[in-house]
Amino acid sequence: MSKRTTGGLLVAGTTSDAGKSVVTAGICRWLARQGVRVAPFKAQNMSLNSYVTLDGAEIGRAQAMQAAAARVEPSALMNPVLLKPGSDRTSQVVLLGKAVGEMSARGYFGRHTDGPEGGLRHGRREELLETVAGCLEELRSTHDAVICEGAGSPAEINLRRSDIVNMGLARACRLPVLVVGDIDRGGVFASLFGTTALLAREDQELLAGYLVNKFRGDVSLLEPGLRMLRELTGRPTLGVLPYQHGLGIDEEDGLGVSLRGTVRESAVAPPHGADVLRVAVLSVPLMSNFTDVDALAAEPGVVVRFCDRPEELADADLVVVPGTRGTVKALEWLRARGLAEALVRRAAEGRPVLGVCGGYQLLGERIEDDVESRAGVVDGLGVLPVRVKFARDKTLARPHGAALGEAVEGYEIHHGVAEVYGGEPFMCDTDEAPLDGCRVGTVWGTHWHGSLESDGFRRAFLRRVAADSGRAFVPAPDTRFAALREEQLDRLGDLIEEHADTGALLRLIEKGVPEGLPFVPPGAPP
């Protein structure tokens, strides 16, 4: 295993959602603008938001976003281990872009033979660490810099011996570590100091500095605390990033975050026509790729809200049933909350509904699932003439076609194979293959994630929804979702360039860990 000390940096965080993904993407975009060949990397990710690379590998969507920030094509090397939760206790393990099985937390982490602490079994941990370190070194061999993202907190002492994504990776590959703290949560100084003091001496030797994220107000009021933090730890704070509204980037996942009632922040522009268009997205359990609706929220006059009660659908012009890692579980949830009945009633009344991936499957007649839920044959909602049978092998693809007279492309990630025996395809009047799925009246379904990012198709679809809903809504003719995403990635690069000590960041990336970093007691327990 190489011990090269140049060309890399690990961005860790005091907590989940401290801003690691944003900071990693911002550093990637800033470096790319300087002409540096840079790539992102996350050794192990837990997320239901995933993406398919050009060669058919599944990786975390956050790493695909970071690759876009770095202006490189995403690959499985950038996220060698992806865990996709199926419940509180089990996850599907995706290794180097391919699903290799379902495993419980106990089965994945196991127990050490030399103690009761939870962690990857020694052999498995060493094997995975060798795999992820090899992927990192392969990226470093073809790029000037690789910006790595940690997971959760590096000070999770119950998991340190099993760690392959935070200090375990940093120590194996001699990576300098930058720790991000979210000051908007409160207690940022305690979090940064405590994170440092809970690391073993060998790990502290790699922790080179801090970054404060989501600050509101006068930075001068923060400076006395930053000076004291340096005196206490011997480490500098390399920037204070201001709070930014409406960044609109791909979140890592929705786990542990309630989206109910959330309005996508980009949906604030006035309508191009006389009316707004209201979109209700059902917050189904194990929701996957909820970023599919971001392209809708980018349209002026489209208001996107996540909801979980039947009465919240009453004034919606379009209801979206998103993807889910638990199609049968989502069906049970819909029925228990009265949402299944509300969806069937909407379909009978000719009011628009769109199902995507798992949401498409549960709108069908029947689901045969001996793979995901192992529930056997389950009745769907019966509003689309579709029968679904779950296959052992996962479909991973980057298809393209046409619908509503417009070119459309997307990506597929699903075990369920749909047999369509009626209805109509998405309307297609070109020589290209139609978009996957089917339509009955105003109910639409497709396996394709990301199709709404195709600007022409999105506008055509919204015109149909507006007509079916009786709304005088007119899509803006010049909304370009890819351009909007590029603007957001540039905003992340600006945050780093304008508010971080870029000279110090470059020194860490180029020269590695500075010598003489002091030990902060007590350190991790033995």
Note if 499 is an active site residue: no
* Phi/psi at 424 (5° precision): -130, 155
Kindly list the distances between the CA atom of residue 217 and the CA atoms of 187, 265, 496, in Å, as whole numbers in the listed order.
Answer: 16, 21, 18
Question: What end-to-end distance do the CA atoms of the chain give, in Å?
Answer: 26
Coil, helix or strand at residue 15: coil
Q: One-letter amino acid identity for 101?
A: G
Buried b (16+ CB within 10 A) or exposed e, 433-451: ebbbbbbbbbbbbbbbbbb
β-bridge mates for residue 237, sequence order: 210
Cα–Cα distance, 209 to 504 (Å, whole number)? 10
Pairing of strands 81-85, 44-46: parallel
Both structure tokens of 364? 């069908």
DSSP H or E run through 457: helix 455-469
Q: Which of 28, 148, 357, 438 is catalytic?
A: 357
Long-range contacts from 476-481, C-beta under 8 angstroms, 24+ separation: 476/272, 476/299, 476/300, 476/301, 477/272, 479/298, 479/299, 479/300, 479/455, 480/455, 481/295, 481/298, 481/453, 481/455
Both structure tokens of 436? 């996957």
β-bridge mates for residue 349, sequence order: none
Cα–Cα distance, 208 to 173 (Å, whole number)? 15
Q: DSSP class of residue 255?
A: T
Q: Which of 415, 447, 449, 499 is catalytic?
A: 449
Contact indicator for 206, 515 with CB cutoff of 8 Å: no
Q: DSSP class of residue 203?
A: H
> Cα 463 to the chain's mean position, in Å?
29
Coil, helix or strand at residue 474: coil
Listed in sequence order, the DSSP H helices in 234-326 are 294-297
Q: How many residues does the chain have?
A: 526
- Pseudo-torsion of CA 230, 235, 238, 241, nearest 10°? -60
Kindly list the distances between the CA atom of residue 264 and the CA atoms of 120, 171, 250, 307, in Å, as whole numbers in the listed order.
Answer: 38, 39, 12, 12
Cα–Cα distance, 285 to 339 (Å, whole number)? 13
Note if 449 is an active site residue: yes
Residues carrying an active site annotation? 357, 449
